[in-house]
């Protein structure tokens, strides 16, 4: 098991329920793939560093987790097919 962290930005037009549903969806992908979530940090609505498709704000969420090397590929696939995700990144957090 390796340590990873991912941060994803959700579209600002989503309501609170949709944001929670998306976070639970990604949490489920990690847990169902054999990963262990260590921390979920909701940063809330923040201004983006630069405009993305005419959007200037987004809901940021940081997730720290441990998983096998195959799980980040599946998580990346789910991020890419989810329309409400503006940007995402998954980083191997080991030295």
- Tens of pLDDT, residues 62-84: 999 999 999 999 999 999 999 99
Mean pLDDT of 12-22: 94
Among residues of the chain, what percentage have pLDDT more than 90? 95
Q: What is the pLDDT of residue 94?
A: 80
Q: Would the pLDDT of 44 be above 90?
A: yes
CATH code for 2-82? Answer: 3.30.70.60
Report the C-alpha gap between 66 and 31 in whole angstroms: 10
CB atoms within 10 A of CB 40: 14
- Residue/partner pairs of 76-81 with CB below 8 Å, 24 or more apart: 78/25, 78/26, 78/29, 79/8, 79/26
For residue 73, give the H/E element and its range.
helix 71-81
């Amino acid at each position: 098991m390796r340590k990873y962290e991912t941060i994803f930005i959700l579209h600002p037009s989503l309501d609170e329920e949709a944001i929670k549903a998306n976070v639970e969806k990604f949490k489920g992908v990690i847990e169902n793939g054999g990963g262990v979530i260590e921390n979920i940090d909701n940063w809330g609505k923040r201004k983006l560093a630069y405009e993305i498709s005419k959007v200037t704000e987004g809901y940021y969420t940081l997730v720290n987790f441990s998983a096998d090397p195959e799980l980040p590929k599946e998580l990346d696939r789910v991020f890419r097919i989810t329309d409400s995700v503006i940007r995402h990144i998954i980083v191997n957090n080991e030295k």
